[in-house]
Amino acid sequence: RLLKEKKFARNDITQDILDSFWVTIARETLVNSREEARDAFNEIGDVTIARISSPDIPHKTDVWWVVFSIKTPEDSENAYDKILENINKNVPDAFINGVVYSKMLKSDNMKYIFVWFKRDPSFWDIIIVWMWGIYVNILEDVSRRVWIVSRDIIMQMFKEIKAFPILKWVRGEEWIDFDKLIDNIFKLQFVFKEFKNIREIDINPILSNSKSSVIVDAKFYL
């Protein structure tokens, strides 16, 4: 059940919903103590990333929400302490679900793809795709459609953005796997269609290369 009293759905609920629609998302473990942080690292068994889970903190970089490249159980415990310390300092009244740990995906030739679904009662329900993250407002390199759209239309949307050649080929780099990327985006439409109390879906980002396409962070705004 989505948490209507919160600004957006909890990470674990979001993950369960995406799993049920066969959308590929990085696996996460929610922890609430130093001991659980150590156990999470031992369970993941690889380089790990940790970030806060809070319905009151959508833009977590504003409060130093994330710790990268956790390589030992001790690092995992220290990351837990550091994240909570930063949250308490910057947003002491925020509701905290816990700290989320997940495997840090290898960045070999990874491209960062961003997707946004929005309901607009005065216009239409739209889907937007782009690259470049926080620079999107400066570069204005996006493509929009009224959804639901076909896989072919999603591919056409990527061809419309100026950054498309970077997704295809740069100095010998391999193409990203467009089939896997587009399949994830196509399925997201039906999540949005099914759950009417989701106002927006913010995918920030999808990491794509020639072998995989995985959602790293997804938010369901309610």
End-to-end CA distance of the chain: 12
| Per-residue model confidence (pLDDT) at position 10 | 80
Q: Which residues of 124-148 are buried (b: 16+ CB within 10 A; e: fewer)?
A: ebebbbbbbeeeeeeeeebbebebe
| Per-residue model confidence (pLDDT) at position 5 | 44
Condensed to tens digits (0 to 9), the pLDDT of residues 169-196 reads 666 677 889 999 999 999 999 999 999 9
> In which residue are the tokens 């996460």 written?
28
| Sequence-ordered list of residues with C-beta below 8 angstroms from that of 90, at least 6 positions apart, any chain | 62, 63, 64
Q: Helices H, strands E: what count in the chain?
A: 7, 10
Q: Which residues of 84-111 are buried (b: 16+ CB within 10 A; e: fewer)?
A: bebbeeebeeeebbbbbbbbbbeeeebb
Maximal C-alpha separation, the chain: 52
pLDDT at 121 over 80: no
pLDDT at 9 over 60: yes
Indicate the pLDDT class of residue 60, thresholds 50, 70 and 90: low
Average pLDDT score, the chain: 85
Percent of the chain with pLDDT over 90: 46
Condensed to tens digits (0 to 9), the pLDDT of residues 28-54 reads 889 999 999 999 999 887 778 898 888
pLDDT at 115 over 90: yes
Rounded-to-integer distance, Cα 72 and Cα 42, Å: 9
Q: Are 66 and 72 in contact (CB under 8 A)?
A: no
| Cα–Cα distance list, 164 to 76, 84, 145, 215 (Å) | 37, 39, 17, 19
| Per-residue model confidence (pLDDT) at position 61 | 55
pLDDT at 107 over 70: no
| Per-residue model confidence (pLDDT) at position 1 | 36
pLDDT at 11 over 50: yes
